[in-house]
Structures are given as structure tokens and as C-alpha cells.
């Protein structure tokens, strides 16, 4: 059950409330917080990959690194739709689990560094 680590990542972070995305899951998410929308824009400008990390408390409106768990999911943005009310509906697919080493604020959004964890499947 040893976990070997592979690719080092530095990606925009999307904090999640009341949901955890696992590898191979495809799920729609509704995004309305400014930092989260900025993180999505960054992901779309790059390679459409984003780091999804669950918040410890859904009530936290402006989460910092201490408010997030240390394992997240590398995800691919499949579809992004800007809604009339200013929020975004995004369809993501979980790709791999990630051990999050550091989360920092950068240019109005959260950015995370981490290491992809290999699957424990046999």
C-alpha cells in the first residue's frame, strides 16, 4: 500500500464546498466566488487542468491554505459555461489524487503546488 509519487504540479486551485471529486469522476460544479472564477480563467488559458481541493468548512467564504485539506484531485476542465447571473458552471473530470504541498494566493486566485500520487489499485 505504499504510495509512490510522480509529477510535480503547480496549478490554479479551486476550493470545493461539500463535495469531493475523485479520479475518473465527471461532475458539474457551480462557481461564484471571485478567486475561484479567477482560478478557472487561469486554467482555461493554460492546459485546462486545475487542482480541486475540499474545504474543511463549507461556511468559509474566503478560504486560505489552512482551510483546505492536504490531498486534492487533479482535474481536467471539460466544459465551461458563463451563466447570466455572473457565475460559472464548469464540467470537470478527476484525473489523479494530489498531495498538496503548498497553497498560496497569486494575482487574485489560489495557486497550489503538489505531487501527483499514483493509484493504489492492483
Does a structural domain hold residue 98?
Answer: yes
Q: How many domains does the chain have?
A: 1
Q: How far apart are CA 88 and CA 120, in angstroms?
A: 33
Domain of 79, in residue numbers: 5-117
Instruction: Summarize pLDDT for 3-51 with one digit per residue, the tens.
Output: 554 668 999 999 999 999 999 999 999 999 999 999 999 999 999 999 9
pTM equals 0.90
Does a structural domain hold residue 122?
Answer: no
The answer to whether the CB of 26 falls within 8 A of the CB of 19 is: no
Does a structural domain hold residue 49?
Answer: yes
| CATH number of the structural domain spanning residue 65 | 2.30.130.40
CA atoms within 13 A on the CB side of 96: 18
Instruction: Summarize pLDDT for 47-60 with one digit per residue, the tens.
Output: 999 999 999 999 99
Amino acid at each position: 500500500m505504499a504510495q509512490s509519487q510522480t509529477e510535480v504540479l503547480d496549478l490554479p486551485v479551486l476550493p470545493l464546498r461539500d463535495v469531493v471529486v475523485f479520479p475518473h469522476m465527471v461532475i458539474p460544479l457551480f462557481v461564484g466566488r471571485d478567486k475561484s472564477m479567477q482560478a478557472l480563467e487561469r486554467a482555461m488559458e493554460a492546459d485546462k487542468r486545475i487542482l480541486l481541493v475540499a474545504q474543511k468548512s463549507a461556511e468559509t467564504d474566503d478560504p486560505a491554505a489552512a482551510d483546505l485539506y492536504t490531498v486534492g484531485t487533479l482535474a481536467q476542465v471539460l466544459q465551461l459555461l458563463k451563466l447570466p447571473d455572473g457565475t460559472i458552471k464548469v464540467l470537470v473530470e478527476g484525473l489523479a489524487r494530489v498531495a498538496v504541498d503548498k497553497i498560496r494566493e497569486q494575482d487574485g486566485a489560489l495557486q497550489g503546488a503538489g505531487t501527483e500520487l499514483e493509484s493504489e489499485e492492483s
